[in-house]
């Protein structure tokens, strides 16, 4: 009797859970239908659009990110979602809500509990709750190491803690990584050492110092070589011939790729970042000047790449509405895709290496997927676009219009430098002209319990040439882009007055 009651209880529990799931799914559908468009980002999360603004809704129908942004990105593994509004970036968390307002030029992913942020072309760090622990006042910041962050300001470097507290003042032309608790520094063209407490234990008076090995290091000043300890005390005076046998290993600084090694008796010239070293017979001189490095005279644009976008079209008032008689052209937005490929680009420098023209040649494929369910839904004025089906009640599972163009864009690009030669924030805009290479419509339908398909190749009233406007914005190899064509999609009198557009993402080719 008890066993039967237990089994009955389990059945009731499973039915209740299943009913709750069905009710929740129905509730979610009703919520999503309130938006103009929606897409599933990841299981249980939906990107939604309303009045041309985008947000995020979860599986319970809650608006995790309000629908007021120009773009939202897929959540990171830490459940953070970047958002874009008026070309500014912000950050949300699936459980915490808003973390950073959309007022930053760029926000990077979290690393060791901190996210690098850029505001007004200056860098800082935010913690995982959105507190700015390092203010955006530095020309460059390095990734945290052992609880310390190397920073650059006004061309000089120093170290701060992850909490923003200054450890080593920003007064050095260069700082190497810490080894044995000591870091080599350059100040006013002279080298010395600081410890991890920020004290300059070896004063910056030497022409060159080498890394410490078992508590001892070699230093040279005015051609005289010394062995020093970690307090800067001179242990021994070395002659140039014996100095080359001092047991010091070469080191490589990951950030600057500068190498320090004991040279041989052969003449040797080493070219480093803003530094020239000349060695002969064990002696050497060093020339260092942060102005040695010249600005590049080349401009490198961001046109070449592969893009994926959503297609759409607007009426003459800018609305996504179809003229009377062309309701059959209603789009299945999620399946109306654009694929574009620009394998080649040519750049023209206009001003420095941050402002110029970029152009190229590419192929653009536009696929407009309709919501047709039956051949009888196509009115007489649209039948000539499609292959003929008989009978008219034939059910349609897929219908689309495809066109392919050969494009030549001409774009003006502005790059906002972050102190490096790559991974810059950039914005570009211009015109794109295209010549139509191919056009066809396609119907997939059921006949005798089998799936059949037919195509019709024709110009379908589309012009041979067209032009439009194109805009891009991105960082590094990733960008978002959009196109809009101010001339009607069809020739006058051969189709509805519609103006095509597309919005998508592009992966740029280096």
Based on the fold, state whether residues 219 and 359 are members of the same structural domain. no
The pLDDT of residue 3 is above 60: no
For residue 155, the model assigns a pLDDT of 87
Which of these three, 255, 288, 321, is where a domain ends?
288
Structure-token match 């508590």, residue found:
215
Instruction: Report yes or no on 104 lying in a domain.
Output: no
For residue 224, the model assigns a pLDDT of 85
On whether the CB atoms of residues 367 and 336 are closer than 8 A, the answer is yes
pLDDT tens digits along 347-406: 999 988 889 999 999 999 999 999 988 888 888 878 888 888 888 778 898 999 999 999
The pLDDT of residue 110 is above 70: yes
The pLDDT of residue 223 is above 70: yes
Based on the fold, state whether residues 337 and 407 are members of the same structural domain. yes
Instruction: Report yes or no on 160 lying in a domain.
Output: no
- Residue 509 phi/psi, 5-degree rounding, is -95, 130
Residues in the chain: 510
- Bigger pLDDT: 454 or 22? 454
Element holding 150 (H helix, E strand) = strand 148-153
On whether the CB atoms of residues 301 and 428 are closer than 8 A, the answer is yes
- The neighbouring-strand residues paired with 34 are none
Based on the fold, state whether residues 343 and 473 are members of the same structural domain. yes
Sheet of 37-42, strands arranged across: 37-42, 45-50, 53-58, 63-69
* Distance, C-alpha 320 to centroid of its chain: 30
Q: Are strands 305-314 and 499-508 parallel, antiparallel or unpaired?
A: antiparallel
Instruction: Report yes or no on 151 lying in a domain.
Output: no
Based on the fold, state whether residues 426 and 355 are members of the same structural domain. yes
266 confidence band (pLDDT: 50, 70, 90): very low
Structure-token match 């997939």, residue found:
444
Residue 336: CA count within 13 A, CB half-sphere: 21
Percent of the chain whose predicted confidence (pLDDT) is above 70: 82
Based on the fold, state whether residues 267 and 340 are members of the same structural domain. no
- The neighbouring-strand residues paired with 481 are 472, 504
Based on the fold, state whether residues 487 and 366 are members of the same structural domain. yes
Based on the fold, state whether residues 331 and 398 are members of the same structural domain. yes
**Number of domains composing the chain:** 3
DSSP conformational letter for 333: G
DSSP string across 427-483? EEEEEEEEEEEEEEEEEEEEETTEEEEEEEES-TT--SEEEEEEEEEEETTEEEEEE
pLDDT tens digits along 38-94: 888 888 899 999 999 999 998 888 899 999 999 999 998 889 999 999 999 999 999
Which of these three, 99, 125, 142, is where a domain ends?
99
* Distance, C-alpha 17 to centroid of its chain: 42
For residue 227, the model assigns a pLDDT of 87
* Distance, C-alpha 462 to centroid of its chain: 36
| Residue 188 backbone zone (phi > 0: left; psi -120 to 50: alpha; other: beta) | left
Contacts 24+ apart (CB under 8 A), 225-233: 228/202, 230/180, 230/181, 230/182, 230/193, 230/195, 230/201, 230/202, 231/201, 231/202, 232/192, 232/193, 232/201, 232/202, 232/203
pLDDT tens digits along 456-493: 998 989 999 999 999 999 998 899 999 999 999 999 88
Instruction: Report yes or no on 141 lying in a domain.
Output: no
Instruction: Report yes or no on 21 lying in a domain.
Output: no
Structure tokens at 121: 């072309």
The pLDDT of residue 167 is above 60: yes
Based on the fold, state whether residues 281 and 355 are members of the same structural domain. no
- Bigger pLDDT: 138 or 177? 138
The pLDDT of residue 1 is above 90: no
- The Cα–Cα gap between 306 and 354 comes to 23
Instruction: Report yes or no on 1 lying in a domain.
Output: no
For residue 249, the model assigns a pLDDT of 46
- The Cα–Cα gap between 125 and 138 comes to 10
Span 112-128, average pLDDT: 92
Q: Is the pTM of this model over 0.85?
A: no
Instruction: Report yes or no on 277 lying in a domain.
Output: yes
Q: Are strands 97-104 and 217-221 parallel, antiparallel or unpaired?
A: unpaired
325 confidence band (pLDDT: 50, 70, 90): confident
Based on the fold, state whether residues 497 and 370 are members of the same structural domain. yes
Domain ranges, residue 360: 305-508
Rg (CA), the chain: 32
On whether the CB atoms of residues 425 and 417 are closer than 8 A, the answer is no
16 confidence band (pLDDT: 50, 70, 90): very low
For residue 242, the model assigns a pLDDT of 60
Contacts 24+ apart (CB under 8 A), 215-223: 215/180, 217/193, 217/248, 218/243, 218/246, 218/248, 219/191, 220/284, 223/283
200: number of Cβ within 10 Å: 17
Element holding 182 (H helix, E strand) = strand 182-187
- The Cα–Cα gap between 65 and 320 comes to 24
Which of these three, 258, 288, 318, is where a domain ends?
288
At residue 383, the 3 state secondary structure works out as helix
Give the contacts of 385 (CB within 8 A, at least 6 positions apart): 401, 441, 456, 458, 460
Based on the fold, state whether residues 64 and 184 are members of the same structural domain. no
Based on the fold, state whether residues 475 and 369 are members of the same structural domain. yes
- The Cα–Cα gap between 163 and 133 comes to 5
Based on the fold, state whether residues 309 and 277 are members of the same structural domain. no
Element holding 97 (H helix, E strand) = strand 97-104
Instruction: Report yes or no on 4 lying in a domain.
Output: no
Give the contacts of 64 (CB within 8 A, at least 6 positions apart): 45, 55, 56, 57, 58, 81, 92, 94
> Mean pLDDT, the chain, as a whole number?
83
Span 296-321, average pLDDT: 88
């Amino acid at each position: 009797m008890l066993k039967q009651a237990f089994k009955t209880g389990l059945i009731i529990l499973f039915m209740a859970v299943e009913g709750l799931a069905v009710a929740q799914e129905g509730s979610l559908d009703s919520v999503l239908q309130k938006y103009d468009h929606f897409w599933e980002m990841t299981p249980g999360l939906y990107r939604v659009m309303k009045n041309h603004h985008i947000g995020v809704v979860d599986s319970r129908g809650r608006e995790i990110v309000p629908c007021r942004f120009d773009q939202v990105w897929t959540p990171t593994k830490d459940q953070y979602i970047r958002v874009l509004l008026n070309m500014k970036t912000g950050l949300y968390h699936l459980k915490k809500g808003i973390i950073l307002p959309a007022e930053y030029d760029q926000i990077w992913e979290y690393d060791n509990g901190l996210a690098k942020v850029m505001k007004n072309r200056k860098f800082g760090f935010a913690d995982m709750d959105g507190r700015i622990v390092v203010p955006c006042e530095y020309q460059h910041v390095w990734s945290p190491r052992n609880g310390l962050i190397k920073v650059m300001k006004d061309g000089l470097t120093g170290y701060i803690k992850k909490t923003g507290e200054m450890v080593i003042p920003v007064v050095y032309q260069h700082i190497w990584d810490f080894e044995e608790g000591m870091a080599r520094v350059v100040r006013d063209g002279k080298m010395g050492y600081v410890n991890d407490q920020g004290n300059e234990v070896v004063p910056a008076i030497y022409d060159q110092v080498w890394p410490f090995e078992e508590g001892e290091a070699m230093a040279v000043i005015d051609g005289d070589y010394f062995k020093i300890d970690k307090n800067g005390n001179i242990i021994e005076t070395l002659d140039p011939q014996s100095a080359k046998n001092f047991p010091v290993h070469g080191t490589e600084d990951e950030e600057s790729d500068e190498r320090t090694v004991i040279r041989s008796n052969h003449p040797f010239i080493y070219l480093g970042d803003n530094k020239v070293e000349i060695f002969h017979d064990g002696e050497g001189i060093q020339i260092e000047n942060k102005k040695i490095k010249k600005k590049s005279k080349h401009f490198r644009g961001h046109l070449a790449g592969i893009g994926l976008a959503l297609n759409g079209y607007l009426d003459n008032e800018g609305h996504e509405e179809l003229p009377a008689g062309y309701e059959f052209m209603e789009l299945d937005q999620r399946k109306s895709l654009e694929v574009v490929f620009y394998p080649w680009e040519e750049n023209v420098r206009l001003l420095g290496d941050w402002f110029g023209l970029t152009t190229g040649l590419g192929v653009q494929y536009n696929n407009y997927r309709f919501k047709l369910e039956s051949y009888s839904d196509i009115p007489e004025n649209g039948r000539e676009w499609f292959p003929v089906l008989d009978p008219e009640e034939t059910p349609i599972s897929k219908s689309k219009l495809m066109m392919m163009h050969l494009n030549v864009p001409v774009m003006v690009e502005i790059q906002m430098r972050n102190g490096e030669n790559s991974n810059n924030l950039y914005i570009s805009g211009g015109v794109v002209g295209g010549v139509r290479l191919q056009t066809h419509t396609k119907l997939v339908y059921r006949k005798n319990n089998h799936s059949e398909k037919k195509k019709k190749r024709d110009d379908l009233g589309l012009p041979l040439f067209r032009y439009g406007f194109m805009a891009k914005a991105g960082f590094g190899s990733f960008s978002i882009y959009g196109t809009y064509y101010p001339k009607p999609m069809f020739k006058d009198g051969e189709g509805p007055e519609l103006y095509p557009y597309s919005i998508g993402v592009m992966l740029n080719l280096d």
